[in-house]
Amino acid sequence: MEPRPSLRIPQEIYSFFMNPGGHSLILRGNAGTGKTTFALQTMEDLSDLERSYYVSTRVSDASLFTQFPWLKKRMSKEGIGAEDNDKEWPNRSGLNELKGYGENPVGITTGEMSISIGRELRDIEAIYEAVEVNLPKRSLVVIDSIDAMAEKYEMSCAKLMNTMQKDIVEKNGANTLFVLENADSQLDYLGDGVVKLTVNEYQRRRIREIEILKLRGCEIFQPKYLYTLKGGKIMSFGQNGSSTAITPKRWSPIQDSDGRVSSGIVDLDRLFEGGLERGSIILIELGEGISTSFTRILEASLVSNFVSMGRGVLWVPIRKVSADAAKAQIVKAIDEENFDRLVRIPVSANQFGMYEAKHIMAVEGSDASADLNWKTIEYSLQGADMPILSLIGFDTMESIYGSGLMDQIMGHLASIKANQGIFVGITSPSARSTERLADLANLHIKIDRIGGTILIYGEEPFTGCNAITYDDRDKGACVSLTQIV
């Protein structure tokens, strides 16, 4: 089945419910993990394909509509309470047993039976009725929670779930989502699928995780997803896509805001008080597993926005990307003439003959303090507007200048501050300069990866975790940040 880009629940769960026949899913997790929100989001994501019924024995409709205003128009009430009592329903053998009358009635002995013959099970009967009147179309039934319903009717949760599995899921072909009020796994065997929600701590920040434990008959490509409850809805984060859809064909610049300069990513500016401060030192620390495609987006966003504003850029690409390759990824978004005029990429003098181009700045490659002399940079970028961006990939720089790099660039950093430029240093996990640069940084951003999702958060100033997704944007890079709350 082709992925649906508008889905907010994991693709595997959507595919599970869309497989032929009825399927039951157990959703469990401790209080505060967002089980009700997840259940309602599942209803919404499937609403165009299946009629949904939400049953809650502990939360009133009024409370639900207040918390989830969109739910009112989604909830189906048709058919409930309109049962034809004279009609025979062939797929109710389990329900009849629960009610106490079936093919083999049990005689009453006072004080020895916990279920009396003919008892009313109003909520349970309403579920059967709703599914039956919608046949042959398939329904989605959400019971929140199955624990509370079993307790209300003084029966075991396992007995109730097993009955509904046989009657509603297997005989009537309905999809059913059982919400459990805790994370206990003892009832997992009763469901066709099991999903667990957890809240964990990562670097002293909250993260939320969906763990897909079982989906009978369905492949699980990604067993764990990060998710957020931002805006009162579930949003799960799958694997980040490729970079091909990120950099727009033509760059639309993001203007300065309250004196701060844009990073080229709208949401990143918003996360850090409107953008980059003039005269500041910024550290972007990359964790393990950050793909080259994303680091290219990061660099391209900074360079493209500065160049589109007529500002100069000194750029040492990370991961030893050649000057020509670096240029090639940028000129798709901005004019080549402006790139050649406003961007300088240092290249060792012994390689200069290989790269005779306007955007090349020849350097000796033995002493960074001399090669990054501010006067030389200003002269090379004559006509560029201020502030100048110094964008430095430390893995590349350390491979050229060695372990003493930080001592060699202290003069460059001082000049950045004095001339109100902006320094952005990007370090990889193997960089030796990270700790010292962190001590000097006005802004320290960390980028990590959990599973298939890239996270970005502020170490200084401290922020929560934000998941990175790729979306169309009017200005800047097509990158969005969504806070995990």
Average pLDDT value over all residues in the chain: 88
Lowest mean pLDDT among 99-103, 107-111, 223-227, 286-290: 107-111
pLDDT of residue 103: 42
Query: So what CATH class is 243-483?
Result: alpha beta
How do residues 338-368 score in pLDDT, each as one tens digit?
Answer: 999 999 999 987 765 555 688 999 999 999 9
Instruction: Return all residues near 16 (Cβ < 8 A) that are at least 6 apart.
Output: 23, 25, 192, 193, 215, 217, 218
* Integer Cα distance of 325 and 330 in angstroms: 9
The whole-angstrom separation of Cα 472 and Cα 52 is: 31
Which position has the higher pLDDT, 9 or 2? 9
Alpha-carbon span 306 to 331, nearest angstrom: 13
Q: Mean pLDDT over residues 236-258, rounded?
A: 75
The encoded tokens of residue 98 equal 């629960």
DSSP states along 145-195:
THHHHHHHTT--HHHHHHHHIIIIIIIT--EEEEEPSS---TTGGGSSEEE
Please state, in angstroms and rounded to a whole number, the distance separating the CA atoms of residues 461 and 216: 45
Task: Read off the pLDDT of residues 114-129 as tens digits, 9 standing for 90 and up.
Answer: 444 456 788 999 999 9
Q: Which of 416, 461, 427 is nearest to 280 (CA)?
A: 416
Q: Three-state SS for 4?
A: coil
Distance of CA 245 to the CA centre of its chain: 17
| pLDDT 10s digits, 431-474 | 999 999 999 999 999 999 999 899 999 999 999 999 999 988 88
- Per-residue confidence at 249, pLDDT binned at 50, 70, 90? low
Comma-separated ranges of CATH 3.40.50.300 domains in the chain: 11-237, 243-483
- Cβ-Cβ contacts under 8 Å for 141 (sequence gap 6 or more): 52, 53, 55, 127, 130, 131, 168, 174, 175, 176, 177
d(CA 104, CA 116): 14
Instruction: Please determine, for residue 90, whether its predicted confidence score (pLDDT) is greater than 90.
Output: no
Distance CA 444, CA 98 (A): 61
Q: What is the pLDDT of residues 393-427, one digit of tens each?
A: 999 999 999 989 999 999 999 999 999 999 999 99
- Check whether domain 11-237 has CATH 3.40.50.300, yes or no: yes
- What the block records as the tokens of 205 is 């920040």
For residues 462, 411, 295, 349, the Cα torsion angle rounded to the nearest 10 degrees is: -170
For residues 252 and 310, give the distance between their C-alpha atoms in angstroms, rounded to a whole number. Answer: 13
pTM greater than 0.85 (yes/no) = yes
d(CA 86, CA 118): 15
What's the Cα-to-Cα distance from 9 to each of 19, 34, 199, 339, rounded to whole Å? 16, 13, 17, 42
pLDDT in tens, 145-158: 999 999 999 999 99
Spatial separation of the C-alpha atoms in residues 198 and 391, rounded to whole Å: 39
Residue 176 has pLDDT above 60, yes or no: yes
- Given a cut of 80, whether residue 77 has pLDDT beyond it is no
